[in-house]
Amino acid sequence: MAKAVCFGEIMMRLNPEGYYRFVQAERFEASYAGGEANVAVSLANYGDEAAFVTKLPENEIAQSAINSLRKFGVDTSAIKKGGPRIGIYFVEKGASQRPSKVIYDRAGSSIALAKREDFCWEEILSGADWFHFTGITPALGGELPLICLDACQAAKKLGVKVSCDLNYRKKLWTKEQAGEVMAKLMPYVDVCIANEEDAADVFGIRAEGTDINTGKISREGYVGVAKELAERFGCSYVAITLRGSISATDNRWAGMLYKDGQACFSPEYLVHIVDRVGGGDSFGGGLIHALLHGFEQQDAINFAVAASCLKHSIEHDFNLVTEAEVQSLAGGNASGRVQR
């Protein structure tokens, strides 16, 4: 069984009921999620051995977050206990022309205050095939940029493949800070995952002929972005999600996987969105699973995009689908007819 280790922050997610705005809310629904935790749950649901590493306080709320991962078979044994608090984020789901909103309350969380000595990476990564992190984790500051570097260096020493979703978050750090830190981490990355904005925001690499505000996408422009990322940092694969935003409710969704000068594009799906938060993480989880199991390049990007397409139909961040369901959609069964 393939084993992947994911490192990052898991938080409590609070959102108003349905499509209520924050100012309308009299109660909030609680769930748990985070970029790398979402990937770990995807992998576990596909039957892979998935472990999640973080630091959480010793209290019942943190234990609830751990339980949310264990429920789906994620190994939480390497989670470090200590520190003052779990991070929180609030989600207001958008609809039609009103965009979704996210408000973070994560400053001073246990993982943000973690120390390098909290994690023995050679021990944590022993027996692993894959290590995954995102640009969100070093963005939390403190010693996390160095902790991520320690993890990447240990992975390389042990022959573990490394993937990183650039995931630039302007509410966490500046473009200049992101570029400086991520440039030190990217040489260790085998598989780079990005969206239409990340490469531009972090490294100043822009897709020609694309306008994210109008939903216009140039495939040729993204091939150029992937080529430059691969050549600059030595990545074996560069995966880019292609989101055409019609509205907050309806998107066109596809992806590209670049390797050795060849770019493969997935089919494009018209997605009616139930909950888009976690959509990029579900793409990453699908891609990692596909590459762990030796899928051909075209099959890998088809699987990743189909997995993420399905996630957009599911409430909260975790992608609660099976490999068979993803393969069915990737194989062309997109009617959504009732399965009896």
Average pLDDT along the chain: 95
Q: How far apart are CA 54 and CA 75, in angstroms?
A: 12
Burial label for 291, CB within 10 Å (0-12, 13-18, 19+), is buried
Q: How far apart are CA 172 and CA 190, in angstroms?
A: 25
Quote the pLDDT of residue 218.
73
Write the pLDDT tens digit of every residue in 263-279.
999 999 999 999 999 99
208 pLDDT higher than 90: no
The residues near 184 (Cβ < 8 Å, ≥ 6 apart) are: 145, 149
Read out DSSP for 243-274? EEESSSSEEEEEEEEEETTEEEEPPPEEEE-S
Closest C-alpha to 232, from 298, 290, 279, 179: 179
Q: How far apart are CA 197 and CA 166, in angstroms?
A: 10
CATH 3.40.50.450 at 3-330, yes or no: no
127 pLDDT higher than 70: yes
Assign 5 to helix, strand or coil. Answer: strand
Closest C-alpha to 166, from 127, 128, 205: 205
Q: How far apart are CA 62 and CA 297, in angstroms?
A: 39
Q: How far apart are CA 65 and CA 81, in angstroms?
A: 13
Task: Tell me the pLDDT band of 196, cut-offs 50, 70 and 90.
Answer: confident
Q: What are phi and psi of 231, to 5 degrees?
A: -75, -35
| Global confidence as pTM | 0.95
Task: Tell me the pLDDT band of 221, cut-offs 50, 70 and 90.
Answer: confident
215 pLDDT higher than 60: no
Write the pLDDT tens digit of every residue in 61-107.
999 999 999 999 999 999 999 999 999 999 999 999 999 999 999 99
pLDDT (mean) for 136-150: 98
Q: Provide the token pair at 136.
A: 């969100």
Quote the pLDDT of residue 159.
98
Q: Do the Cβ atoms of 52 and 73 come closer than 8 Å? A: no
pLDDT (mean) for 227-244: 95
Burial label for 115, CB within 10 Å (0-12, 13-18, 19+), is middle
Strand 80-81 and strand 250-259: pairing?
unpaired
Domain ranges (residues) in the chain? 3-330
Q: How far apart are CA 255 and CA 282, in angstroms?
A: 12
Q: How far apart are the first and last CA of the chain?
A: 31
